[in-house]
Structure 1
Amino acid sequence: MKNHILVPIDLAHEASFDLIFPAIGAIARTRDAVLHLLTVVPNELAAWPYVPRNFIDDSRKQAAEQLGEIARIDMPEEIEWHSEAVVGPVAPTIVRRAVEHGAGLIVIASHDPKASDILLGGVADRVLRRAPCSVLVLRAAGGWEWTG
């Protein structure tokens, strides 16, 4: 039976791509895992004034295409993966998709917090506190060498 790993990816944070793809590739190889790549389009965007009616759905479709293209370029061929883009509140959606996929692990990249993260907590922090499974948080600083 395959292990399932959920990998939420922030498409707006390109620096995490170089960090997360080697790590999930190494983990997937050693654990014979299926990777579920996920990007979440925040539904808070719909609350903005003057947002066009189809903006959220168009953003989701564009995010799905971008994530699939990035994965085709960066994922080794021998690793089974699937990608999707969904709309919702970011951290709760990641946790919900982990449950729905039966993930035993969530691998998420973390980056320097913004001012709002100090009060509300960053996405990785909120996922870590709510996840029903193990969570591996990768940070660029103090790196671990995943290739080799």
Structure 2
Amino acid sequence: MKNRILVPIDLSHDAAFDLIFSATSTLARQHSAILHLVTVVPAELAAWPYVPRGLVDDARKQAETQISDIAALEYPEDVTWESEAIVGPIASTIIQRATDLGAGLIAIASHDPKLTSLLLGGTADRVVRRAHCTVLVLRSSQGWNWSN
């Protein structure tokens, strides 16, 4: 289904919310697309020693509620969306979910990289290099107005 857009959301970087929701609303309208929002709870949480039983699943449930609540506030009624939270390695989970959904596009926000991201590669960079569909990387700037 090529009219499906996967929208990975990093709940810890709310500075990109205005950009990602505005841009994906515009894209969904222009292409009669369904937006599929996904947030990934890092699988590394489960690898920590002495992690209380159920912590990872509780984190997934909380993230699922948060992403749904945010999308309900940010998307207008004429935009069709669905959301989910998944536990796994972030970049590969995003790529696998896009493949599973048959997404024609991944629209991902990119925030200012840290030194570790420059050396190891950020999530958006890994998604761009490995995805089997088109990837639109959205960065905060004054250059594009998506609200038109």
TM-score, normalised with respect to structure 2: 0.96
CA RMSD of aligned residues (A): 1.2
The answer to whether the 8 Å contact 1:40/1:87 transfers is yes
Task: Please give the alpha-carbon distance, in whole angstroms, between the structure 2 residues aligned to 1:2 and 1:140.
Answer: 26
> 1:15 corresponds to which residue?
15
Superposed, 1:28-107 pairs within 5 Å as 28-107=28-107
SS at 1:26 equivalent: helix
The answer to whether the 8 Å contact 2:2/2:103 transfers is no
Task: Please give the alpha-carbon distance, in whole angstroms, between the structure 1 residues aligned to 2:11 and 2:35.
Answer: 17
Task: Please give the alpha-carbon distance, in whole angstroms, between the structure 1 residues aligned to 2:142 and 2:15.
Answer: 15
Q: How many residues align?
A: 148
Task: Please give the alpha-carbon distance, in whole angstroms, between the structure 2 residues aligned to 1:8 and 1:80.
Answer: 16
Amino acid at match of 2:74: D
Task: Please give the alpha-carbon distance, in whole angstroms, between the structure 2 residues aligned to 1:52 and 1:16.
Answer: 31
Query: 1:2 Cα deviation (Å)?
Result: 6.8
Q: Which runs of 4+ in 1 moved over 4 A?
A: none
Query: 1:49 Cα deviation (Å)?
Result: 2.1
Structure 2, unpaired ranges of 5+: none
TM-score, normalised with respect to structure 1: 0.96
